[in-house]
Copies of this chain bind each other. A is one copy, B any other.
Amino acid sequence: MDTIETHPSIDLPYASPTLMLEDFLPYRLSVLSSTISRTLARLYERRFGITVGEWRVIANLARHGPLSANGVCDRSAMDKVQVSRAVAKAVDGGLIDRSIDPYDRRRSILTLTAKGRSVHDQVLPLAREYQDHLRTALDDEEHAQFLEMLSRLLMRASSPRYLDS
């Protein structure tokens, strides 16, 4: 609703413009994303003892594996340190098998173990179920639009002008 008065209230000696946090896009995104991430993180941790990072690695190996650590980086929005740690934990837990690429001994070859595949096959329906639960908030067209808008926003958010400075 627009203001009726043409100038700020005389009660206030000084009233600078303010931010309605609940309409600030970064805030809104952050609240939604962290609510969802927390829920999923708990789901993965409680039921399967894995972190979100491990899940991302596992999901990528299930779909695209075998991959090197670098291959996982490229597909997971995780940097090499995050991948290294997630992989170490998953190898430790017997979910991932790590060997050395004989053609380039700096590279690793990561594959799911049977146990890792089994965890994947159990987590996947739960992840999908949660996504479907969220998606009941949107119809198919809206969902497509939403994803498309996320893409456009990400391109903007990743633009160099704002990434440093």
By a beta-carbon cutoff of 8 Å, the part of chain A in contact with chain B is: 1, 14, 16-37, 39-40, 42-43, 56, 59-60, 62-63, 75-77, 114, 117, 120-121, 124, 127-128, 130-131, 133-138, 142, 145-147, 149-150, 152-159, 161-165
- A32-B157, A137-B152, A154-B35 known; A131+B59 contact, CB < 8 A: no
How far in angstroms is the closest Cβ of chain B from A123? 9
How far in angstroms is the closest Cβ of chain B from A108? 20
As for how many copies of this chain the complex holds, the number is: 2
- A1-B117, A29-B33, A29-B36 known; A138+B158 contact, CB < 8 A: no
Contact: A156 with B127, CB < 8 Å?
no
How far in angstroms is the closest Cβ of chain B from A158? 6
Give the docked Cα–Cα distance between A154 and B76 (Å).
Answer: 24
Give the docked Cα–Cα distance between A143 and B159 (Å).
Answer: 19
Contact: A121 with B16, CB < 8 Å?
yes
- A33-B34, A146-B149 known; A19+B128 contact, CB < 8 A: yes
